[in-house]
Amino acid sequence: MKQISRQTRVLTVGIFLTMTGLTLVAPILPLYAREFGVSRTASGALISAFAVARLVFDVVGGVASDRVGARRVMLAGAVLLTASSIGAAVAPSYAFLLVARVLEGFGSAAFATAAMKLIIITTDRERLGRTMAFYQTGLLAGVSLGPLLGGVSAELGDLATPFWMYAVLGGFVWLLVWRYIEVPEMEAASVRGVFRATRTLLRSSAFVALMFVSVTVFFMRAGARLTLLPLYAAEELGLSEARIGLVLAVGAILTLAVVNLGGWLVDRVGRVPVLIFGLLATAATIAAHGAVATLPGLLAVSAGFGLAAGIMGTAPPTLAGDLSTPGAEGAAVGLYRLAGDFGLVLGPLVLGALADEGAFVGGFQFSAGLLVLAAAVALIIRRPRTHEHVPADAAELR
């Protein structure tokens, strides 16, 4: 890790704090909404509003980082995260809280998109996989730590306490970016140039294939792992909440443990081979979820999932960097994240509907089938040669 730059380390701390804050509020959000006397559906709308806001702002944040610079977009994102968290903590009504969640989605998308763009433009392609893995370590650690801190802080204080903590973390993120992040001197791309580069990406079969992979991976994560698995474990296997949490934790811990190995393999073996292997291995473990009926079996399957997902996880964002157009990397990151967030929204809806019909095994098999299809689609992805991006005349970006 000695070759990881200071700037990448700062960005990793920034995404760790950001993701810790995002997941701080996860355990208490539905309960906090209910304090305003709204229905369970309205409580769920707070989660949907955040996801839709991210969908809307993924590409906008990417284009903005190409136009005005990644540093400015990250600073704006941190301000939005801090302000929206304070707004949520003092919200006088449900409508005010809903608006705060939308702004939080905007801020999250802006910061994450600009940070990933900055990693792409400041890292040699030969080391991009390992650098992206280091960055994802911070992201995954934040996702793992946040819910625990959120639950404890709510018990020690009240349901608004996690939002105040998130506001403080957002302030730290702003200070980190302001003090330590430096962006290379680059000529800003014109709006016309960025959108022309975006159209070029959408005409690239390799990039469209990568977007499909991103949809299926996040569809699986949010749908099969975070929606279907808890329902299946509780309703079909009779597991307690604590044991369900243990099953999910095993996968998360092992993913975190091997993500840097995955980054090394992505750089040494190749992006596409690691991606295809990971998709097929993950598909096998997802299908196996519906074939086990005991806690030890589910723990073993979850462990296999965590290893496969960790090895594979760095390949897609690294390919997004490889396939990006010079000067319009933000647009590429925005499109890649848009696809992933679409999968995050779609997965729970589709697999949740299957769960309502009692089709748990069918839901796992459907998700596994999508991953196999994604592996087949990934065969058409060709990684450009070093520093060769999706073709575009640099003059077109001005």
Enumerate the domain spans of the chain: 8-188, 197-385
Q: Do domains 8-188 and 197-385 have the same CATH topology?
A: yes
In 3-state terms, what secondary structure has residue 45? helix
Q: Which CATH superfamily is domain 8-188 in?
A: MFS general substrate transporter like domains (1.20.1250.20)
pLDDT score, position 122: 87
Q: Which CATH superfamily is domain 197-385 in?
A: MFS general substrate transporter like domains (1.20.1250.20)
pLDDT score, position 263: 94
pLDDT score, position 18: 94
CB of 381 closer than 8 Å to CB of 209 = yes
pLDDT score, position 201: 86
Residues of the chain with pLDDT under 50: 386-398
CB of 122 closer than 8 Å to CB of 103 = no
pLDDT score, position 392: 43
pLDDT score, position 388: 46
Nearest-angstrom CA–CA distance, 363 and 230: 13
The residue among 250, 306, 317 whose CA lies nearest residue 281 is 306
pLDDT score, position 163: 94
Q: What is the pTM of this model?
A: 0.85
pLDDT score, position 222: 85
Q: Please list, in sequence order, all residues whose beta carbon lies within 8 angstroms of the beta carbon of residue 201, skipping any fewer than 6 positions away.
A: 207, 323, 324, 325, 331, 332, 335, 390
pLDDT score, position 185: 56
pLDDT score, position 63: 86
pLDDT score, position 393: 43
The residue among 173, 227, 225 whose CA lies nearest residue 21 is 173
